[in-house]
A = this chain, B = another copy of it.
Amino acid sequence: MPNDTPEQRLAALGLRLPEVPQPIGTYVPFRIEGGFLYTSGQGPRGHAGVALRGKVPSEVGIEAAYAAARAVGLNLFATAAQAAGGLGRLKAVKVLGMVNADPDFEDHPKVINGCSDLFVAVLGENGRHARSAVGMASLPGRIPVEIEAIFRVLD
């Protein structure tokens, strides 16, 4: 692993960066200020076979929600890599993982791990981040998971 690039690790996982998702509304996909890259919240759009709508776990089970969170992670990577000039220039700082969950759901970490595991698998130590994983009353388009991230841009 030490000699691999993040792009090589991504390929070794059988994954590739999707098209950069475009915002719905008056805003932009990211902002870089003072060395920090702030992403907009993103959903799981653009990934075949991924659950795009529904409450967790009554409509989207935990495993499917984990896969959705991983798809969100890929979308965040696509946006951030384009913004920073490659995955190798990204250091994850903070993730806010939002699950469209039923009122008594307790396992938000198991869902958002789909994104966090991807960050660590691809970025290595630079993928380790502070995080909150919480339950929202509703999300745009009834997506099961929305995640926003802060990265540090490396020189």
Which A positions have Cβ atoms within 8 angstroms of B? Answer: 23-31, 33-36, 38-41, 55, 91-96, 98-99, 101-110, 112-113, 116-117, 119-120, 128-142, 146, 148, 150, 152
Given contacts A116-B26, A135-B139, contact A152 B33 (CB under 8 A): yes
C-alpha spacing A119/B137, complex, angstroms: 26
C-alpha spacing A35/B140, complex, angstroms: 32
Query: Which residue of B is nearest A98, CB measured?
Result: B134
**Copies of this protein chain in the complex:** 3
Chain B residues near A103: list those with CB within 8 A. 55, 137-138
C-alpha spacing A94/B108, complex, angstroms: 23
Q: How far is the CB of A129 from chain B (nearest CB, A)?
A: 6
